[in-house]
Structure 1
Amino acid sequence: MNSPSSPGPYDGTAQEGPPAGCPLSSGAPGGTTRLYGPEASADPYGIYAGLRKRYGAVAPVLLEGDVPAWLVLGYRENRRVLDNPRQFTRDSRIWRDWEEGRIEPTSPLVQMVGWRPDCVSQDGEPHRRLRGAVTDNLQALAGRGIRRHVTHFANKQIDAFAGTGRADLVAQYAEYLPMLVLTRLFGLAEGEGRRLATSCAEVIKGGEDALHHNDVIMRVLAELAERKRDEPGSDFTTGLIEHPAGLDEDEILSHLRLVLITAHTTTSNLLARVLQLLLTHRSHLSGLISGQLNISAVVEEVMWNTPPLAVCPGRFATADLELGGQHIKTGDLLVLGLTAGNLDPEIRPDAGVSVQGNQAHLAFSGGPHECPGQNVGQAIIETAVDVLLHRLPGLRLATPAGELTSTASTWESRLDRIPVEFVPQGAGV
């Protein structure tokens, strides 16, 4: 539920937007490059490279609805923003374009950068209190047989196609497996998994249906929280309800939403990318099967080159300042180019050089808001890959590697499909 002072439903009348490419407010970044739409979806890497060449480490861009923002492209500049919440707050209540009524309450951006009573939207002591509740419960989950749950659902997914000798590892495996695990960890019915996975993906993708799908998620979670008050269990939902931090109803629902959306979308995307790397680089696959290569090293490489969130929303300047040669105004929105920062030629002049053993990537963001669910995501991916490789001997791509395609939104780039072939197997293990 949104605070009355937060991006969400509000009493002011939204103004008609300006012409495309026109700055929305005085002092706002005046770029004309859109991070959404057909061109951005087809070639986000080309967009990042073009912006870096023209502007340097920080570039003015337009988000959905031609809302102005700064895209942080440089690795060091991303680190500065992530590590300095006093200069770059996560609290969108100071977002100038919101305060001055230029953001429609139905804008899909509200689902990604709008204020909510959760730890991501706040800094300082409120952030520490709420993040502590999330972190404590995620750590408890990581120690409660999560790999057993992944193994169960991975085998169940594989059973559905094992006898055919063919599959699409995006649609039939990576796209839904993390959500099925999360339903178990949250105390949800397994049957809710596919609907929630679809809705989470639509919220991240943005567009006109984002608000509807967010409402679907919130209705399911509200019913879950109500049930868990009457029927507590050893699950993430009960843990939030009973945590000593004393979260109120809005805080509980907001954190259930936050963890569900981010954990599923990032883990499903990362799992697909790990499978892509293994199947397009046979040396990686053979090294993993032989035990000469550790799965964590493969995941690490993917997080450097294709992090699950390409662009991380968002931070807001608390004062006029300079960043990457650009003059940032108080209340300006900044979005963090995690992919662009990881590929910054200032720190990686040769992107083809191995980064094995180097964990300084931006894939989990950083600073006080660094992703607290890394261990859970890692456990899901490692177990999912292990089960798949053991169940499907002879696993190989059924199409040339160069024909694998991706579709990007503002925030992420997702593989469309991974068609594979393998020796047909009987169901079950």
Structure 2
Amino acid sequence: MSTTPTPPPQCPAHGTGSASGPSGQRQLYGPEAEADPMGLYEKLRAEHGTVAPVLVHGDLPAWLVLGHRENLDVARTPSRFSRDPRRWRDMQEGKVPADHPLTPMTAWQPVCHFVDGEEHRRLRGAVTDSLARCDRRGIRRYVTRFANQLIDRFAAAGQADLVTEFAEHLPMLVMTQVLGMPESYGPKLVDAARDMIKGTETAVASNDYVTTVLQQLVERRTGNPGHDFASWLIDHPARLTADETVEHLRLVLIAAFESTANLITNTLKVVLTDHRFRAHLSGGHMTLPDALEQVMWDAPPFTTILGRWSTGDTELGGQWIKAGDMLLLGLAAGNVDPEIRPDLSQPVHGNRSHLAFSGGPHECPGQDLGRAIADTGIDTLLTRLPDIQLAVKEAQLHYVSSLMSRHLTALPVTFAPSSGTPAPTEGSTGVGVLPARRQSVPLPEVVPAPVATPRAEEPRARKTSWWSRLFSR
């Protein structure tokens, strides 16, 4: 039910719907936001409370939701805050041109995260039902096999960059198997997906490449189904159209890649740099799944989620929100809300009420899949390389921030080469899966016929826990 309180004094940027805000209005892009987004969120919290007026690209006005309770309120009440971007007033008034940086993320498409109500239930039901059919043990075997293949490529060198040589590739390689693609597609899709998310000059070409690959996958699986997510989505009783199927495959592929790659990187970074975190692990007070939950509190894969649009004039966190206003869910800011975490030094690793996967009817449907990839991948890496250490000082690590995420550009590590003895990869294609170095994103091309998927290897037997070896150095 929409609330209709007495309107409080309005911020000029939002009360008028002007495309440019008043002097001093804080931007969610530019040097300040890119250098220290969490610092910016705290400044906004101090100035405005749990909901802050901000400017996005092009100095378009929006609201950033900073409070934990307020984030859940927005996520759980689509009757007040819709996921349909066609409600965005600035877009209706022609203030969001086709080449605007937010257009790829706000242009309406026939996907479940852009609709509400019955249509949302139909489309999301097809996604969740199809994901539920995935074999969790089989996925973990894929993760173990691909993780070992990746490690084999750098183990003998005694050094590696865990971002570009491990974390970015592992989720995509696994997802090619989940969706029903040949694993050889993985490296190109990694480059294309990252390019799309960065919004570079070649992002459109990268998007075209991903779309072409998925269209060809749908064409192959239509009438010739396999035991994979694409086939189950095509054959679901919801009867998705070909376009709807392609869009949902892309949604699952890109979301799983970006969020899981960031989760793996952030967790490895904390393990390598945070002595308090290590103490909890070495003392047996925290398991690896617990460690992932702690990281999702402190460094969620997505810092913000774009967006929600107010269905009518309403109040949120003491701010007057007008119909058609855009809201951004501040996941990272909500996770450190002083109302729920007055002491950030206290661990919360046993608590899953973080906002890393949002909430409400649009909560991430593939979160368990992401957890499985990250958990198994990190476990495999640290089992193979128990003496791994950061190769540079923590202060030398470099981050790149965007409106929705913040991720490390590199995580250089060193380890004893002898600790990385190549693991057996039964039935796999071995080192031929990955290119020797990162290549430019190719233009769409005719995709070869699918190849038989090799049988995943069983998880390797462990002589001792990698936790004990990691902390006994």
Normalised by the size of structure 1, how large is the TM-score?
0.90
Partner of 1:251: helix, strand, or coil?
helix
Query: For each residue in 1:305-357, what CA deviation from the matched residue of structure 2 results, as whole angstroms up to 9, or x when unmatched?
Result: 11000001110000011111221110111011100111112221211111121
Instruction: Return the offset for 1:289.
Output: 6.9
Q: Are the counterparts in 2 of residues 106 and 211 from structure 1 also a CA contact under 8 Å?
A: no
Residue by residue, what CA displacement relative to the aligned partner does 1:56-78 show, whole Å, maximum 9, x if unpaired? 21112222232221111111111
Residues 1:258 and 2:248 aligned together: no
Report the AA paired with residue 211 of structure 2.
M
Q: Which runs of 5+ in 1 are unaligned?
A: 1-21
8 Å CA contact 1:24, 1:102 repeated in 2: no
Farther-moved stretch of structure 1 (177-186 vs 213-222): 213-222
2:404 corresponding residue in structure 1? 411
> Within the alignment, does 1:237 sit opposite 2:230 as a pair?
yes
Structure 2: runs of 5 or more not aligned:
1-11, 425-473
Q: Does 1:85 align with 2:78?
A: yes
From 360, 365, 368, the equivalent of 2:353 is 360
Q: Which secondary structure does the structure 1 equivalent of 2:155 belong to?
A: coil
CA RMSD across the alignment:
2.0
The answer to whether the Cα contact below 8 Å between 2:233 and 2:245 also exists between their aligned partners in 1 is: yes
Cα pair 1:142 1:376 within 8 Å, conserved: no
- Is residue 423 of structure 2 the alignment partner of residue 428 of structure 1? yes
Identity of aligned residues (%): 50
- The amino acid that maps onto 1:59 is A
Within 2, Cα distance between the matches of 1:375 and 1:196?
22
1:281-300 residue pairs with structure 2 within 5 A?
281-282=274-275, 284-285=277-278, 288=281, 293-300=286-293
Change (3 A) 1:224 1:289: farther
Q: How does 1:63-102 map to 2 (within 5 A)?
A: 63-102=56-95
- Paired residues for 1:8-23 under 5 Å: 23=13
Correspondence for 1:271 = 264
Q: Does 1:347 align with 2:337?
A: no
Give the one of 25, 30, 42 matched to 1:37: 30
Q: Secondary structure at the match of 2:305?
A: strand
Pick aligned residue for 1:26 from 16, 33, 36: 16
Do the aligned partners of 2:17 and 2:61 also contact (CA within 8 Å) in 1?
A: no
Question: Would the alpha carbon gap of residues 241 and 300 (structure 1) be closer, same or farther in structure 2, given more than 3 Å must change?
Answer: same
Q: Which residue of 2 aligns with 1:123?
A: 116
Larger-gyration structure (1/2): 2
Pair 1:211–1:64, CA change in 2 (3 A):
farther
Could you say which residue in structure 2 is the equivalent of 1:329?
Answer: 322
Deviates more, 1:120-129 or 1:223-232: 223-232
**From 78, 85, 108, the counterpart of 2:101:** 108
Alignment partners' CA distance in 2, 1:179 and 1:73 = 31
CA deviation map 1:234-262 (0-9, x unaligned) = 11111111111111112101101110110
Q: Does residue 396 in structure 1 map to residue 386 in structure 2? A: no
**Secondary structure at the residue paired with 1:407?**
strand
Q: Which residue of 1 aligns with 2:298?
A: 305
The residue matched to 1:356 in structure 2 has which SS?
coil
Match of 2:203 among 189, 206, 210: 210
In 2, Cα distance between the equivalents of 1:25 and 1:325? Answer: 14
Corresponding position of 1:192: 185
- Cα pair 1:405 1:415 within 8 Å, conserved: yes
- 2:14–2:62 contact (8 Å) kept in structure 1: no
Corresponding residue SS for 1:390: helix
Amino acid at match of 1:190: E
Displacement of 1:190 in angstroms is 2.0
In the other structure, the counterpart of 1:146 is 139
